[in-house]
Amino acid sequence: MRDLSRRQFVLTSLTILTLPRAARGARRSSLRFGMLTDSHYADYASRGNRHYRESLAKMRECVDSMQEQGVEFLIELGDFNDGAAKPPVEDALRFLARIEAEFARFDGPRYHVLGNHNMDALSKPQVLSQIRNTGIDPERSFYCLDHAGLRCIVLDANFRADGVAYEQGNFQWTDANIPAAQLEWLAQQLDASPHPVIVFIHQLLDGEGNIFVNNAAEVRQLLEASGKTLAVFQGHHHSGSHRQLNGIHYYTLRAMVEGSGAENSSYAVVDVQPDQIVVEGYRRAVDQTMPRVETDR
């Protein structure tokens, strides 16, 4: 590999990554989808280990791989674009449009979760006007959809403790909350679902502290009480993690933006099987097998 040019290395690596692993396809799947998070795309210089401009090429590789895999849909878990440098609104909109164009190359349903950095320089309506969630009302920042006998619920924790929505930097990133109206909506979606449930969110639900939703315990109580929730997929915490709490798996995907070069990207295929969920990590993303936990609820 050391004798290959950088371009040859990337192309060769992509070919290898899109080949099935030995374990893939071994069990019947209910649903198979692609997932990425924290691309933080913006057209400005790298800061620390965040290489903002490189996320365009990383997204291109991810989408090409997902096309080859034939996944049912592709979802990103927030911080799709970045406004931390406080660019003018017209620049922030241009950055968002550029990364959305790469994401939109995926030839299938695609979905977004809002993250805090999406609203550093933009309002939620501005962000939602530039992205597309297939078959979803373009004004909705939290929503649900049913795929292959599963209910997928997307949450939006980008609200301050006083209930005000994040907009153009009017927030502290540590103050993330699911408001009462959204909690009521979530309870309704869980109660009405005829299917097992998977939840997608940007900020974390499986603990307490700066990286977690402030009222995460209240959200977890609803998810657990339903007896239907299989897993929660999260972004935000760039190093990733996995834990199981009261029968629900919480998988945090590593960030796409961290590290220079294609080898430092991160994305995954999630294979929902009758008795387990298998996360197949690409590049720096971590593989994880999550057995379904039977409960008395």
Query: CB-based contacts of 195: which residues, under 8 Å, 6+ apart?
Result: 146, 149, 150, 151, 228
CB 242 within 8 A of CB 291: no
Residues near 110 by beta carbon (within 8 Å), at least 6 away in sequence: 73, 74, 75, 103, 104, 132, 133, 134
The owner of tokens 């374990």 is 23
Within 10 angstroms of residue 165's Cβ, the number of other Cβ atoms is 17
Asked if 156 and 182 touch (Cβ cutoff 8 Å), the reply is yes
Q: Across-strand partners of 143?
A: 154
Sheet strands (E) in 113-159 = 143-147, 150-154
Amino acid, single-letter form, for residue 147: H
Per-residue pLDDT at 8: 41
Res 293: pLDDT: 82
Each residue's pLDDT expressed in tens, for the chain with a length of 297 residues: 223 333 343 444 444 444 333 333 444 558 999 999 999 999 999 999 999 999 999 999 999 999 999 999 999 999 999 999 999 999 999 999 999 999 999 999 999 999 999 999 999 999 999 999 999 999 999 999 999 999 999 999 999 999 999 999 999 999 999 999 999 999 999 999 999 999 999 999 999 999 999 999 999 999 999 999 999 999 999 999 999 999 999 999 999 999 999 999 999 999 999 999 999 999 999 999 999 886 554
Q: Which residues sit opposite 94 in a β-bridge?
A: none
Q: Report in angstroms the alpha-carbon separations of 71 from 3, 108, 132.
A: 33, 8, 18
Type of residue found at 290: M
Q: May I ask the CATH architecture of the domain 30-291?
A: 4-Layer Sandwich (3.60)
Q: What is the token pair recorded at 113?
A: 């979760």
Burial letters for 228-242: b for 16+ Cβ neighbours within 10 Å, e otherwise?
bbbbbbbbbbbebbb
Reduce the secondary structure of 106-154 to three states and give it as a string. Answer: CCCCEEECCCHHHHCCCEHHHHHHHCCCCCCCCCCCCEEEEECCEEEEE
> How is residue 208 written in tokens?
């307490």
Domain boundaries, the chain: 30-291
Sign of the torsion formed by the C-alpha atoms of 294, 271, 130 and 158:
positive
Strand order in the sheet with 110-112: 110-112, 74-76, 31-36, 266-272, 276-283, 288-291
